[in-house]
Amino acid sequence: MPSVNLSNIVFTKAKFRYLISEIVDDFLKKKLDKEVREYAKNELGIDYIYKSYDFSKIDFDKGDFVESDVSLNDMYYKTAKKSLRGVDPKKIGLFITINDNQQYLDPSPTVELIPKLSFRKDIRAQNFQGLACSSFSESLLNSAGYFLMNGKENAFVLIGTHYTPWFLDRIKQIKHISKKDKVNFYNLIYFLIFSDAVASTILSQKKTKNTQIQIDSKSILTLKDTKNTEKNATIKMSPDKKHRIVFDIKLQPKKLREEVANLSAQNLKLLRKKMPSEFKKIRIWGLHTAGSRFVDYVAEKCQIDKTKIGLSYDLMKKTGNTGAVSSLQFINECINKKALSKNN
């Protein structure tokens, strides 16, 4: 499998930035127990999140559905245009969209974006939905496979995380939240930790003058759990008594955290065996920014020195959990901080 070269990386946050303390002590204060507010401020490891909603315009005590102030499709388009600046879109042969949001009910975003971005009529398109935070590594492997068949053409990856509409709508309908009510408590935590964000990049088989980083496809391992037949986390839509569609979350956070940590440890074991000399050179680790408890647990399970994951903690504090965008966000941050070299 060939290497994958990343260029023209763009990371875009939604326009409204909020302190976690601002949300729980101001906008949602009437709904939350003091214990819940203190947990949110002190245990998540997140200071700021970015949302596509202007909360100052929202009455959180009303159960009405509220449309976002920032369209995800607009964020997709503007981010993609930045990546494609100075690039001939006709040279893109594969278009991968990763839409971490409720748009699986609609046609894939590619239906709208292909003509808007002036891509070719015969462009191949893939849409990842449901792989969530693991999607980017899968898109790299799929692109590497595509390069074997079409070595002269590039791939374009566009990722969007937009969970706020799910959880905001649910939070507005909940009258009171305490830690004893696990379902509503987890709805709140997921509403708080996720930022709405979009990222994009151009992938090519050969290095170009715009290449920012090269990834050996042999180093990408994506393991799946083949034993657990139950879902540890589900979000489904169902009608309420007034026949309005609502989003319901069912979550087993401890089990989910353990499963992810176990798969991560297995991944690292295989990687160490497959590429021992390269593995020893690792100086910076990027862990998915799903909250401090998650990061701490995975780091301990994988026996990763916490001094080497400082960048992940820093990103988590500044932007929360950016979902499927987080992998490309981390790579982009490493490049911007010049944290990578030939020996790292």
Residue count (the chain) = 344
Number of domains into which the chain is organized? 1
Q: What is the pLDDT of residue 17?
A: 98
Residue 105 lies in a domain: yes
Half-sphere exposure of residue 5: CA atoms within 13 angstroms, side-chain side: 15
Which CATH number fits the domain that encloses residue 59?
A: 3.40.47.10
Residue 42 lies in a domain: yes
Q: What is the pLDDT of residue 343?
A: 44
Whole-model pTM over 0.85 = yes
Q: What is the pLDDT of residue 228?
A: 64
Residue 75 lies in a domain: yes
Which residues constitute the domain of residue 8? 4-217
Residue 321 lies in a domain: no
Q: What is the pLDDT of residue 242?
A: 58
Q: Give which of 340, 40, 307 is closest to 192, Cα–Cα.
A: 40
Helix axes 253-274, 292-301, angle to 10 degrees: 40
Q: What are phi and psi of 9, to 5 degrees?
A: -75, 130
Residue 169 CA: distances (Å) to CA of 33, 142, 259, 305: 20, 35, 29, 39
Q: Give which of 19, 78, 310, 111 is closest to 197, Cα–Cα.
A: 78
pLDDT tens digits in sequence order for the chain, 344 residues long: 678 999 999 999 999 999 999 999 999 999 999 999 999 999 999 999 999 999 999 999 988 888 899 888 889 999 999 999 999 999 999 999 987 665 555 556 677 899 999 999 999 988 877 667 778 998 999 999 999 887 689 999 999 988 898 889 889 989 999 999 988 999 999 999 999 999 999 999 989 899 999 998 888 877 777 676 566 556 565 555 555 566 666 677 788 888 889 999 999 999 999 999 989 889 899 999 999 999 999 999 999 998 999 999 999 999 999 999 999 999 999 999 888 764 44
Residue 280 lies in a domain: no
Q: What is the pLDDT of residue 173?
A: 87
Residue 319 lies in a domain: no
Give dist(CA 216, CA 20) in Å, integer. Answer: 38
Give dist(CA 271, CA 45) in Å, integer. Answer: 29
Residue 252 lies in a domain: no
Q: What is the pLDDT of residue 128?
A: 78
Residue 150 lies in a domain: yes
